[in-house]
Chain A
């Protein structure tokens, strides 16, 4: 689906947290995962800005590891604060999506 950028804005950070929460990983792999999910418009630059923010806000642990191609890669893993943030994200998501579903189904 095209043109999801605006709608994804508030949720992409949560998606990235979830992916990192699964296993320690790096920017390009996160981007590919999101693309495979169907978010084709997400470019690595977008993921980079999110990772930068997560790092600055102390939600991830960053480790540099050598790569077969080019310079070392930064790998990201969640720390305790990151896991807390992820739980909060899913709670908020649950709240919003259930309310929107209810709206769509014409209920109260």
Chain B
């Protein structure tokens, strides 16, 4: 089963995309770049979908308060992403374990 299948299976993915589309442009850009980065790094947390919807929740709140996205998360977007997934193993970790095991 793939990340995408699971998210789509819950019919959350489309709703998620619509919400991202409704964000102000600066938030939308940062969200999309973050998502790309997270897909590359592949944290296991992506699977339950809550990591991504949580970010959208957070961004919607920030946007509603009228602040810019970088005021919200700082300019080091990658550090913010890494903080988000600090406790999550990645698929690469799991794969490496399976090879060693």
Tell me the A residues contacting B by CB distance below 8 Å. 27-28, 43-46, 48-49, 52-53, 56, 67, 69-71, 73-74
Q: Which residues of A have CB within 8 Å of B62?
A: 44
Structural contact, A56 and B71, CB atoms closer than 8 A = no
Interface of B: prevailing SS: helix
Interface of A: prevailing SS: helix
B97 contacts A by Cβ under 8 Å: no
Given contacts A28-B65, A46-B83, A53-B86, contact A71 B74 (CB under 8 A): no
Would you give the shortest CB distance from A92 to chain B, in whole angstroms?
19
Q: Which residues of A have CB within 8 Å of B63?
A: 70
Would you give the shortest CB distance from B18 to chain A, in whole angstroms?
14
